[in-house]
Structure 1
Amino acid sequence: MSEPVRLSRRVAELAACSRADAEAYIEGGWVRVDGKVVESPQHMVAGETVELDPEAVLEQPEPATIVFHKPVGIDAISGRTEAVGLVTPDTRWAEDPSGVRLLQRHFVRLTPLVPLDRDASGLMVLTQDGRVWRRLTEDADQIEHEYVVEVAGEIAPYGLHRLNNGGLRYQGRELAPCKVSWQNEIRLRFAIKAVRPGQLQDMCAQVGLDVVAIRRLRVGKIPLTKMPVGQWRYVPVSARF
């Protein structure tokens, strides 16, 4: 049996390339050891079969941004059951149209953004990309979110007008106008900026309605689409919120 060596050295010999290029191939998920993708250049190999994908390209992997369909009862940012724990290779949406290659490194240091109530479901965003982090934190109040809110009860006179035109208050601040319409007899559709946890429930209560369920459909320009609950997809690097 040959002496163990770093995978990067074996790939450099196999591909007749520099050690730096070998590391780039490995980190890009292009190298298999006994049929399994290994992304660590420091991985030690001896007699294992090492293969470089014939379609391998030399490029640094882009940081991942992921859209997840959060179920009810799961914490978006922090808590007992955090959503990031449900984002695994096995829960990727089979119909993900992004074309992004799945890498194990995409599940390391994923930061959840844009809060969503524990009792709500729908779109949430997790990212490794500092550009996305800055956009969704520093510009958060300028980004429109879209929700469907299922309600019960009878809306107060001029209630829809009040929801749309501002003047309601939440946590001591006057709320700006937003766009609210009936989707059907029991569901309101909100397009709203600078929404805070618990705000939609409070707004509905101020016009005589009880909230039964909330689902977020969109953050900025990124929609939830028909992705099932508990699954996720990549957001291409070229996409903008």
Structure 2
Amino acid sequence: MNDLVSDSRGEGERLQKVLAAAGVASRRVCEQYIAEGRVAVNGEIVTEPGRRVDASVDQVAVDGVAIQLDVSKRYVMLNKPVGVVSSMADDRGKRDLREFTADYEERLFNVGRLDADTSGLLILTNDGDLAQVLAHPSFGVEKTYIATVQGVVYPAALKKLREGFDLEDGPIRADKARLVGEASQGRGTPDRSIVEITLHSGRNRIVRRMLDAVGHPVIELVRRQFGPLHLGTLASGRTRDLGKLELGQLLTLARTPRESTDIHPSADTQD
């Protein structure tokens, strides 16, 4: 996204007007922010309210948090249920994402994918630039999952997840892995565990493959976090618009250059 910038000092609209239209604050307060040196345009601190910007290409941040100037863009969080494929049109007749986007005026599409057996946080948007950056495996967005697995997970398995090992498509390791709890199908001895695992890999079904490799096949998998976004109490099958702070954090993440340490990224992956 960093190549979509321009020097628009002589064109566009006044900075304070664009900020106010984006919902940052009133125009007068935005002028104060600018005068205090809290606003940056394309990485450059601006202290003159008369600066003009082009909302379609210029990148603006307030207090280091990115602002979306294009008010036509929409960002929605979905708690995807199990059994729904991450597609806007499934040719096999399975449930797809259209049932969750039908009530929105904008043409929304998903950022990345979750496989049909995985539930949890999925972003829907009409911002193609953002989606392309965040979904590309080389960007390496950190994601956190809660997995219910077979068997009792001991510290040695968690250590192996964190230190890494080889899969058929190359080495892999979790950024974090911890035991959340244990459970049983009946009232007897625990026969399953709940594990929280965080990683930035975009490789296909990677969480399931990692846990299977340490002897604990996944029974249920939920993505709870994507970058700075948390699923929170959003019910399964429900959607909500991102708040301004969430959107700012997401845009800031997308505009921050970074390199993934994933060894073998794939351009078409699902967790």
Aligning the two structures, in what range does the TM-score lie when normalised by the shorter sequence?
A: 0.5 to 0.7
- The offset of 1:167, in angstroms, is 1.6
Match of 1:134 in 2: 132
> Aligned partners of 2:76, 2:98: CA distance in 1, in Å?
10
What is the TM-score when the length of structure 2 is the normalising length? 0.56
Unaligned runs of 5+ in 1: 1-58, 90-103
> Aligned partners of 2:194, 2:163: CA distance in 1, in Å?
19
**Alignment check: 8 A CA contact 2:111 2:123 kept:** yes
Match of 1:73 in 2: 83
Unaligned runs of 5+ in 2: 1-68, 183-192, 251-271
The 5 Å alignment of 1:4-19 reads none
Aligned length in residues: 166
**Alignment check: 8 A CA contact 1:155 1:207 kept:** no
Do structure 1's residue 239 and structure 2's residue 237 form an aligned pair?
Answer: no
Match of 1:174 in 2: 171
Match of 1:163 in 2: 161
Deviation by residue 1:218-240 (Cα, 9 ceiling, x = unmatched): 10001111011100011246423
- The offset of 1:60, in angstroms, is 7.2
Runs of 4+ in structure 1 off by over 3 angstroms are 138-141, 154-157
Change (3 A) 1:223 1:146: same
Change (3 A) 1:177 1:71: closer
**Alignment check: 8 A CA contact 1:154 1:208 kept:** no
Match of 1:229 in 2: 236
- The offset of 1:88, in angstroms, is 4.0
1:240 is paired with a residue of what secondary structure? helix
Do structure 1's residue 84 and structure 2's residue 91 form an aligned pair?
Answer: no
> Aligned partners of 1:150, 1:73: CA distance in 2, in Å?
17
What is the TM-score when the length of structure 1 is the normalising length? 0.62
1:194 is paired with a residue of what secondary structure? coil
Superposed CA RMSD: 2.3
Q: What letter is aligned with 2:180?
A: Q
- The offset of 1:172, in angstroms, is 1.6
Q: What letter is aligned with 1:143?
A: V
Change (3 A) 1:141 1:156: farther
Residue of 174, 187, 194 corresponding to 2:194:
187
Residue of 207, 211, 214 corresponding to 1:207:
214
- The offset of 1:173, in angstroms, is 1.2
Change (3 A) 1:187 1:229: same
> Aligned partners of 1:203, 1:188: CA distance in 2, in Å?
12
Identity of aligned residues (%): 22
Larger Rg: 1
Change (3 A) 1:233 1:167: same
